[in-house]
Structures are given as structure tokens and as C-alpha cells.
Structure 1
Amino acid sequence: MTATTTAAAPAPVTGRPAATGRTVLRLHRAALIVWLVVVAAAAGSLLWAYGPAATDAYAHWRRQCPDDIDACMWDTTINGYYRAVRLPELALSWLCLPVAAWAGAALIGREMENGTAKLAWTQSVSPARWLVGKLAVPAAVLTVGTTVLVLVHRLTFEANPFPVYLYWSERETFVANGTVAVALPLCALALGALTGLLLRRTLPALALGTAVTWGVAYLAAQVTPDLWPWKTATASLESEWPTLGTDVLYGDQGMLTGTGARIPYPTCGDDFAQCMTDHHATAFYADYHPASHFWPLQLIETGILLGVTATAVTTAFWLLRRRITTGAATFPLPRRKTGAAA
């Protein structure tokens, strides 16, 4: 008597898809721990500068710099206060680069290279849900951490009792004081993930994602001041350049002719008056952004970065779907072989 036994097809998966959020946190717990340590250290440094460090540094400042800030000699107390604020600012300004490297290499590139992503797609997680989990969880963690640091930095910055060259217009201070600090790592995450999907290799995605993120951050910083109207200050030729103080962001500077045209400052010899006459110059001018332009500039740059983020995320999902529909990433579920038993 001979009987033929055929194995049943795999049972359909029931219930909810796998918790990709918990999976991302578990797989990248080392990066999560490093991020929590960075946030705690930066927040602690800023809070220390807000409290006891500010009191001690201000006392030293009053004693050593009573009148002339340029003649002031900083001691270790004042330097300690400056570093306590400056280091978190640098961390917030350049956080985007390690985020892009991590997203391109560890988050996406490595899983595409070693086949882990393809294996997940044959289980209970669809490619789209896999990518959502890969992006949403780090985005939430980065947003919460950077928001906390921005709030603590603003608290410290606004309570700064004396001038230590922490001006709003300095790049690192500008970033750490507003929404740009939140948008930068989100943009880096999206660009890193996109390069990981494009290259599907760990090291190339790390390099390209970091380079592209740096380029986007640099260009956004360069174009933003020109997207909000500059104010212009003028001064007569008998005076020096327009005196605006240190609490402004300077733009174009030069000289005005009698017709109102702008010319760069000429190279003059000993006869300044004759030089001005030869160039038809009638006044100095300087474009600038005052402190009241801080939030318009912040929101413009944030909008640019979030626009790039949305474009990168949309492109990443389109690329993933295209590869699936063309069969490049299709991997059928394994089936048991049929056999005969005597």
C-alpha cells in the first residue's frame, strides 16, 4: 500500500505585524545609549552654566573686566563657563553628520547589504512598514532629545549675565537656539536612509550620506540670510564704517556712489579723499540682520531642511516600491517539498 503525503502550505500570518519599533530599538540599542548619554551630558553642562557656573563667572568678569571688554583677560572660571555652553552648541550644530553616517551605514546600508532587510520582508513586515519603522523611531528619539537641548540652551542663553562672545548670530549659537537644531538631524536621517537604499552598501552609504548632508546643511546656511530682507545702515565718508555693534548678522558691505550704486571698498593709497572722488563714492553701507530677525531666519532655514527631508523620504519610498514592483526585491516564502512514502 502506497500513500502520498503532501505538506500543507505555510499558514498565513495572523495578528498584527511584528513590532518594528521595538526591533529597531533593540538592534540599535548601542546608538540609543550613546544618544542618551550625549543628551544627558549636554543638558547637564548647560544647566551647570545656567546655575553655579554663571554666578562664579560673573563675579570673575566684574573683577577682571570692569570697563573694556577687549582688554579683558579670561581666567579658568570664565573659560569653563564658555566651554560649558559652547560644547553643547557644537554638538547640536554637527549632530547631523554622525546621524547621516549611522542612518546610511548601520540603519539601512548594512541591512540591505547582508540581506537582513530582504529576510524581514518575507516575514510579517512589509517593505513599506519596515522603512516606516526604520525612520519613525529614530526620528522620534532625535526630535525629543534635540528639543530638550534647545529648550535648555535657550534658558541658559537668555540668562547669560555677561558678554562672552555667545552672540545669536554666531552659527553654532544660532542653530542651538531654535528649530534648526531639530530639523538638521531629521534631514540627515532621511538623506542617510536614502543613500543606504540607493547604494545598498555600508561604507559607500556612510560616506555619501555624510557628504550630502554636509552639503545640504552648508547650502541652507548660506542661502537663508538672503531669503529675508536685509536692513541697510549707512555712514558718511567722514566717519568710519556703520557702527552696529556685535549683536547683528552682517551681510554685504561696501560703498555707495552718487547714483546709489553699490561698489566694493576700493584699494586706496595715502590720499583717501582723492580715492573716493575717483570712485564717485559718497557713503559707506552695510547690510545686516538685527536680533529681531532671528525667528524669521530660523523658520526659513527650518523650512528648507524639512523640505529636503520630505523629498528624501518620498524618494526613498518610491525607490523601495519601484524595486519591489520590478521584482528586484521579491523573495517568495519558502515551501516544503512534496514526497512519497511507502
Structure 2
Amino acid sequence: MTAPALTRTAPPRPARPRRALLRLHRPALIAWGVFVAVISAVLLWAYGPLGNSAHAAWQQQCTEDVCDWNDAIEGYHLAYTLSEVAIGFLPILVAVWAGGLLIGRELENGTASLAWTQSISPARWLATKLAVPAALLTAGTTLLVLLHRLLFDAHQVPDGWGWNDHNTFYANGTVAIAFPLLGLTVGALTGLVQRRALAGVPGAVALTGVSYLISWASPRLVPWKTSVGDLKEGYAAPANVIYGGEGAVTSTGAHIPDPCVGGGKACPAAHDIVGYYSEYHPSSQFWPLQLTETALVLAVAALAAAAAFTLLRRRTA
């Protein structure tokens, strides 16, 4: 008699990191899909049926002297405003999620350590954690920016919108695509530093500070246009621009802080002031401003990601 041959069953293959990530964070994936779908629907509604109704109401009820806003016009502007607020608040939500649920919680409960010992290296684990959400965020925000620009360019009710409004400027270009990626990397870094689920809150705080510094610095990296007015004309910057510095002009052409704010008529002569200057960015500089700020955001995001990988490597060495 011969002994029956023994057959070995292969151990189950671990799930691919991307699939495991999507399965683990399915609620966040669903929430992101709902967010994009809802904001897209609002923008398309404002561009289509609501925009047509608002435009008709504007032509019927508004003149050069007076305008009676009805529900269609109010709803049109409300849809536009709420979509901008949602797009602008997205990076904060991403930072909270990345710091808390994506990274901090897995380090706190030991899920990450288990994965490192069984199926995936720490570096690949973090790379997957960043790459998959980054791709989904980029795809979704790109769609929202395109739809927002579609609505902005149509501008069926010619009142109340300006390219230089902070929320409009943000949502109308590549800056809105880059900032969620910064939120992702800053959140991930704070999650690695804190190693607990509550790390999302410090991540949001850190992102707010970094965002403020970037928004302050980026207009100053693009050369300002300058307008000069005489003493009678005063400050002569055009309307519908992003304003920068302003001050007085001396007889030598030097630009100095205005020493005559609240002063009398004799003040300009006493300080050798012959006019006033204003610095500004016109609408023609929209894309230089957008691309400069986008480059800054992506550079800081890359630094945050590099810091996260360095910290993880040192802790797991």
C-alpha cells in the first residue's frame, strides 16, 4: 500500500496595499464621493436651470439704479458661495482625517506595526497611505475647479463676484487642487509625530498656520504693478485688483510710507511729497499668482512628506 500523497495548501496571499487601504477607509471614500457629487451638482444646477432663472430675473427686475433680488438670484449667489466655502474648507477636513484616522489611529492601535511585520515595509505602507488619497483628491478637486470656473465664466448675474475675492481666487485654479495635498501630508506628519487618533486636530492647526504664511507670501513673489497719482488725484489704483503696498512719492521718485495720514494740507510740502503710489495685481496676473502659490504649496507638501518618511524610517530602523 502506498501512503496518500500529502498536498500543501498555499497560505492566503495578503491583500494588496491599495485594496486594503480602500477597504479599511471605505467610509471616507464614500464620504469623498458624496462630497464631490453634491458640490458638482450644486455648481451644475447654478450654471444651468438656476442660472437661467436668475439671469431672467436680473433682466426683468434690475436697472442701473435699483435691483430687487428675488429667490432665483438669491439662490444663485448662495449656491456659488456655499460651493466656494466647501472647496476652501476641504484641506482642513483632509488634515483632520489624515492625522487621525489614516495614520494616528493605526499607530495607536498597533495595526500599522502588524502590517509591517507581516506583509509590507513601513516605507511602502506610508507611500500607499499618501499616494491613493492623493490621487483621489486630485481627481475630485480638479473636477470641482473646472465646474467652478465654468460657473464663474458664465456669470449670468453680473453682480457680486470678483476674481480677486479670496474664496473665488482659491476655487478658480490650481491652488484649490494643491492645498488638499498639503493637508494630507501635514496631517500624515502630525499623525506620525503624535501616534494617536486625536492627531488630526493638531494637523488642522498646523495646516491653518502654514496656509496663512503661504497666502501671505505668494502675492509678494509676483512683481507688483504700480500706479502713481499726483497730490490732487491721490491713490490711483484701479478697481477689481489685489492690492499690495501703498505710500507717498517724493520729488526724487522715492517711495516712502505716507507720513501725512490725518495731516493737514501743509504736510506734503513739509515732507517733499509730490504724489502717491499704489501696488496691485490686475486680473492679467491671475495665472502667475495661481502658479506661484501652487508651487509654494506643493513644495511645502513635499517637505512635509519627506519629513514623514524620515521620521518613520528612524522609528522603524
- Fold shared, TM-score > 0.5 on shorter chain: yes
2:250 counterpart letter in structure 1: T
2:250 is aligned with 1:253: no
| Greater gyration radius | 1
**The structure with more helix, counted as a fraction of residues:** 2
Q: Answer whether contact 1:197 1:316 (CA < 8 A) is retained.
A: yes
2:303 is aligned with 1:311: yes
**How far apart are 1:266 and its partner, in Å?**
2.4
2:95 is aligned with 1:100: yes
Partner of 1:339: none
Partner of 2:182: 187
2:217 is aligned with 1:217: no
2:77 is aligned with 1:82: yes
- Aligned with residue 57 of structure 1, among 42, 54, 66: 54
Q: Give the fraction of aligned pairs with identical amino acids, expressed as a percent.
A: 51
Q: Answer whether contact 1:184 1:305 (CA < 8 A) is retained.
A: yes
Partner of 2:229: 235
Partner of 1:33: 30
Partner Cα distance (1:77, 1:180) in 2: 30
Partner Cα distance (1:253, 1:74) in 2: 36
**How far apart are 1:106 and its partner, in Å?**
0.4
Q: Answer whether contact 1:13 1:124 (CA < 8 A) is retained.
A: no
Q: Report how many residues are paired.
A: 308
Change (3 A) 1:219 1:107: same
1:257 counterpart letter in structure 2: T
Partner Cα distance (1:80, 1:253) in 2: 38
SS at structure 1 position matched to 2:118: coil
Partner of 1:280: 272
- Aligned with residue 106 of structure 2, among 111, 119, 134: 111
TM-score, normalized by length of structure 2?
Answer: 0.91
**How far apart are 1:14 and its partner, in Å?**
8.9
**How far apart are 1:260 and its partner, in Å?**
2.1
Q: Answer whether contact 2:237 2:280 (CA < 8 A) is retained.
A: no
SS at structure 1 position matched to 2:285: helix
**How far apart are 1:171 and its partner, in Å?**
1.2
Partner Cα distance (2:214, 2:161) in 1: 22
2:242 counterpart letter in structure 1: L
- Aligned with residue 299 of structure 1, among 291, 298, 301: 291
2:45 is aligned with 1:48: yes
**How far apart are 1:268 and its partner, in Å?**
3.0
Structure 1 runs (4+) deviating above 4 angstroms are: 11-15
1:57 counterpart letter in structure 2: A
Partner of 1:178: 173
**How far apart are 1:312 and its partner, in Å?**
1.2
Partner Cα distance (1:286, 1:63) in 2: 39
Name stretches of at least 5 consecutive residues in structure 1 with no aligned partner: 1-10, 326-342
Partner Cα distance (2:41, 2:313) in 1: 44
**How far apart are 1:280 and its partner, in Å?**
2.5
Partner Cα distance (1:160, 1:256) in 2: 39
**How far apart are 1:126 and its partner, in Å?**
1.6
Partner Cα distance (1:301, 1:117) in 2: 34
Relative CO higher for 1 or 2, CA cutoff 8 Å, sep ≥ 6?
1
Partner of 1:333: none
2:83 counterpart letter in structure 1: P
Partner of 1:166: 161
**How far apart are 1:237 and its partner, in Å?**
1.8
Change (3 A) 1:65 1:295: same
Q: Answer whether contact 1:268 1:275 (CA < 8 A) is retained.
A: no
**How far apart are 1:253 and its partner, in Å?**
2.0
